[in-house]
């Protein structure tokens, strides 16, 4: 049976990781892999997470299954984190949340749920979008259409083109939006633009599907959730996929959540029963450890405060790196868009040949699209990367 299978090409990011590991240069710089790094280049375990894990180690009494919906306490607390305590949708019992194996699990289970609701559903995704969005959603059998999002000349949101494309969507179509820290561009919608998109979705009868994987790493926990909270208050139905990989540093624990916001409590219960049936037939139930860590942190005031402090420091560091990198690149051209963008990612706007020169000659690794992980920079490497980029741009003009 296996003899008919061909070897698939390696995933670009995984291939880049392999090349970086095999590079013997001591001054190499990894700007490709999408994980937060500190000044030393490490992806550390947050202190609040360490404390929570130690408490769990001392108090956890069972490894029994937690059920398809995951941990009830986690689901309740993550809903409050995203929507804010006292949000009208929570007060009206319109919100049902299930724990998932990471943000990827949330996205795929949302796709399976949408296929149950409407087998011929069309999902509109931004151009560009996170590389795994289309495989996760399209792999469930959904039809994918794209709307323009990034102006490649200015590397800012091409909002007029986005709105014009979404005017072509039909009632019942789904619009995938990045809640904050757009991956891969770093170009986010402004509060006024969120309002305009909400107006369009409401007028045309579309369903917003929001992927919020970086809450707290853009401008702050509350600011980064503005779009989600606005739509959850104004629209009858919203789907939200979230991840704890970045803001809790729980990458390998695969901790995420999927939130269904319905028109009323009864419809929400019916929808969630369908979602849980889909979950049962796919992975049965999610892993427990990461969610237990998050639940303990969010349910313990001292740990919550410590986590807020750490997350705020990470957020400030990224913002400061953006400002410093933009300034350092000024001799090479106008890179001010980097300072205006938010989150871990930005495009440099250079071509694949220039990316290859940076990798081969300078040991600076990034995706061929020129997407870089801002958090991969440090005070020690920022100037060298900026000078290398200036040299490459100068020789290829």
Kindly state whether residue 136 falls inside one of the protein's structural domains.
Answer: yes
Alpha-carbon gap, residue 307 to 48, rounded angstroms: 5
Same domain, 204 and 342: no
Average pLDDT over residues 141-151: 97
Alpha-carbon gap, residue 380 to 377, rounded angstroms: 8
DSSP letter string, 281-301: HHTSS--SHHHHHHHHHHTSH
Do residues 340 and 156 touch, judged by C-beta distance below 8 A? yes
- Can you say whether residue 393 is alpha, beta or left, with left for phi > 0 and alpha for psi between -120 and 50 degrees? alpha
Kindly state whether residue 59 falls inside one of the protein's structural domains.
Answer: no
End-to-end CA distance of the chain: 52
Residue 211 among the catalytic residues = yes
Same domain, 319 and 292: no
Q: Which of 158, 188, 211, 224 is catalytic?
A: 211
Counted domains in the chain: 2
Same domain, 140 and 228: yes
Same domain, 291 and 328: no
Same domain, 35 and 89: no
Structural domain span for residue 385: 11-45+315-395
Kindly state whether residue 179 falls inside one of the protein's structural domains.
Answer: yes
Residue 130 among the catalytic residues = yes
Residue 12 pLDDT? 83
Same domain, 90 and 229: yes
Residue with tokens 């913002």: 319
Judge whether residue 164 has pLDDT over 90.
Answer: yes
Alpha-carbon gap, residue 322 to 331, rounded angstroms: 16
Same domain, 249 and 390: no
Q: In terms of Cα–Cα distance, which of 260, 185, 188, 255 is closest to 226? A: 188
Average pLDDT over residues 238-260: 98
Residue 397 pLDDT? 57
Query: What separation in angstroms does the CA of 17 have from each of 10, 35, 175?
Result: 11, 12, 32
Q: Which of 173, 246, 271, 292 is catalytic?
A: 246
CATH number for the domain spanning 372: value is 3.90.1150.10
Same domain, 81 and 36: no
Of 299, 334, 364, the residue at which a domain comes to its end is 299
Same domain, 145 and 271: yes
Q: Considering the chain, what is the average pLDDT of its residues?
A: 96
Same domain, 295 and 319: no
CATH number for the domain spanning 198: value is 3.40.640.10
Kindly state whether residue 57 falls inside one of the protein's structural domains.
Answer: no
Residue 246 among the catalytic residues = yes
Of 271, 299, 327, the residue at which a domain comes to its end is 299
Of 266, 299, 332, the residue at which a domain comes to its end is 299
Partner residues linked to 123 by β-bridges: 144, 174
Same domain, 346 and 213: no
What pTM value is reported for the model?
0.96
Kindly state whether residue 60 falls inside one of the protein's structural domains.
Answer: no
Judge whether residue 396 has pLDDT over 70.
Answer: no
Q: Which of 52, 121, 169, 213 is catalytic?
A: 213
Kindly state whether residue 326 falls inside one of the protein's structural domains.
Answer: yes
Residue 154 pLDDT? 94
CA dihedral 369, 372, 373, 377 (to 10 degrees): 160
pLDDT, tens digit (0-9, with 9 covering 90-100), for 265-306: 999 999 999 999 999 999 999 999 999 999 999 999 999 999
pLDDT, tens digit (0-9, with 9 covering 90-100), for 59-118: 999 999 999 999 999 999 999 999 999 999 999 999 999 999 999 999 999 999 999 999
Residue 213 among the catalytic residues = yes
Kindly state whether residue 58 falls inside one of the protein's structural domains.
Answer: no
Q: Which of 124, 130, 194, 307 is catalytic?
A: 130
Kindly state whether residue 149 falls inside one of the protein's structural domains.
Answer: yes
Same domain, 257 and 374: no
Among the ranges given (241-255, 271-285, 383-397), the one the predictor scored with the smallest mean pLDDT: 383-397
Task: Name, in order, each residue with C-beta under 8 angstroms of 282's C-beta and a sequence gap of 6 or more.
Answer: 108, 109, 112
């Amino acid at each position: 049976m296996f003899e008919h299978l061909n070897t698939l090409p390696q995933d670009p990011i995984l291939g880049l990781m392999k090349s970086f590991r095999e590079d013997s240069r001591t001054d190499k710089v990894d700007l490709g892999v999408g994980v937060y790094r500190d000044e030393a280049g490490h992806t550390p375990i947050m202190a609040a997470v360490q404390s929570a894990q130690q408490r769990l180690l001392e108090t956890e009494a069972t490894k029994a299954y937690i059920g398809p919906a995951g941990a009830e306490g986690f689901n309740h607390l993550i809903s409050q984190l995203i929507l804010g305590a006292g949000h009208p949708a929570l007060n009206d019992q319109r919100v049902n949340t299930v724990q998932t194996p990471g943000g990827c699990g949330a996205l795929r289970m949302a796709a399976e749920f949408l296929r149950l609701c409407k087998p011929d559903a069309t999902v509109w995704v931004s151009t560009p979008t996170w590389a795994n969005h289309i495989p996760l959603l399209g792999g469930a059998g959904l039809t994918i259409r794209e709307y323009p999002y990034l102006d490649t000349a200015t590397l800012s949101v091409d909002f007029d083109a986005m709105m014009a494309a979404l005017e072509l969507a039909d009632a019942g179509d789904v619009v995938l939006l990045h809640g904050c820290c757009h991956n891969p561009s770093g170009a986010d919608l402004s509060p006024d633009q969120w309002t305009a998109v909400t107006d369009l979705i409401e007028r045309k009868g579309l369903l917003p599907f929001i992927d919020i994987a970086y809450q707290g790493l853009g401008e702050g926990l509350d600011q980064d959730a503005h779009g989600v909270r606005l739509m959850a208050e104004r629209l009858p139905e919203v789907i939200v996929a979230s991840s704890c990989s970045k803001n809790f540093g729980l990458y390998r624990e695969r901790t995420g959540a999927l939130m269904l916001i319905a028109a009323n409590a009864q419809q929400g219960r019916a929808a969630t029963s369908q979602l849980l049936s889909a979950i049962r037939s796919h992975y049965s139930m999610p892993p427990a450890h990461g969610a237990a860590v998050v639940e303990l942190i969010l349910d313990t005031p001292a740990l919550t405060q410590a986590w807020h402090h750490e997350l705020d420091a990470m957020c400030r560091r990224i913002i400061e790196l953006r400002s410093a990198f933009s300034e350092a690149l000024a001799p090479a051209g106008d890179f001010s868009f980097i300072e205006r963008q938010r989150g871990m990612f930005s495009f440099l706007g250079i071509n694949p040949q220039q990316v290859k020169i940076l990798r081969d000659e300078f040991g600076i690794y990034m995706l061929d699209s020129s997407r870089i992980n801002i958090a991969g920079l440090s005070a020690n490497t920022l100037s060298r990367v900026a000078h290398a980029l200036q040299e490459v741009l100068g020789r290829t003009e």
